[in-house]
Every structure is written in C-alpha cells, then in structure tokens.
Amino acid sequence: MDTLCTLTRAADCGPAEATVRARAEEAWAVWDSTTHEDGSGKFDFDYSDNHQERVLILSGQAELTPKDGSPAVKIAAGDHVVFHRGFKCAWNVTSPMQKHYCYFDEDGEETQPNNVACDACGCDCFAESYFVEASGEDICPACYTKDGGAAYAGAEHQKEGKSIPAEPKRKPKRRKVKADK
C-alpha cells in the first residue's frame, strides 16, 4: 500500500510541502465532504483515472481502508497525501473534511479533468452545478438554492459539465365544453 498512498503528516511537512500548500491555495479545487454524494462521508473510491491525485487536508479527519487488505490510514488537517493510480479504498470521514486537490499526469503536470468548483464556496460540484453564462460562474446546488436561485436567475443546470434539458412546460389540458342546444 505504501506505493499507492503516500502520506506526509502535518508535523513532518517541510519546504517541499510549503510549496505544495502555496500552489494548492492558488489554483487547486476544494472538496467538501458535506456536499459529496449523500453527505454521509462513507464511500468507496478507485484512484484509476489519473496518474496521481495530490491533496492537502484543510480541515477534518478521515480513515481510509485500502481494498488490498493493508492497514487503515488516518488523515487529518494539515496532512499532505498523494493517491497513486490503482489505489482503491473505502473512505470514512470521521469529522467533516475539506481538502485542496489536483490531478497529475505521468509527467507530473497538473491536469483538471472533470473539474468544476463552485465560485461561491469553492466546493467540487462537477457532479451537479449551475452555470451562469453572464458571469461565467459555476455554482453548486447548495449555494444555488440558498435564495431559491434568485441570485443566479437564468443559470443552466448541469450534471458532469453537461447541460440538463429543462423539463418542457406542459400545456394545460383543455376541457371540451358541450354547447347548449
């Protein structure tokens, strides 16, 4: 498991991690456990889509149980973690968590496939968002619904970065009225 998940504890962070922190704060998306899937903080994840995912835990705690039978790994605020391709685990967020994250290719270059972050709160909202064309903002469902969507009137509802067609408005059925004879 050591080759699939690299953990640097907050207390052990040095100059290299300080550089990562600066880059993370500048450009990486923020993931929030309270807006992930059902908000339970319990889910399985397979890190197979990218060469690496690098994260900086901002707050909270979680226990990751590798699917290969390796011992569970506890991560917490300030920790730097690198998930390598092939790592599979069960997440159990034990204290609401936020993390900066970014994907990397084989050459160590940052990539952001399937990345949409809320411009109001910064959370990852690729799964579902509202795109406001006039301002170019992406808004997560939680921020969108705070005022019933009034602040983002005309926003396009999206799932995984693709427009969701609006439900067609149904015409009211006309009742036939018999004419009096």
One digit per residue, the tens of pLDDT, for the chain of length 181 reads 457 999 999 999 888 888 888 888 888 888 888 877 677 889 888 888 778 999 999 999 999 999 999 999 999 999 999 999 999 999 999 999 999 988 888 888 888 655 677 888 877 777 788 888 878 788 888 888 888 878 888 888 887 677 787 666 566 666 666 666 5
Residue 1 pLDDT: 46
Q: Which of 96, 130, 98, 99 is nearest to 116 (CA)?
A: 130
**What φ, ψ does residue 119 adopt, rounded to 5°?**
-75, -10
For residue 29, give Cα distances in angstroms to 6, 83, 111.
20, 16, 11
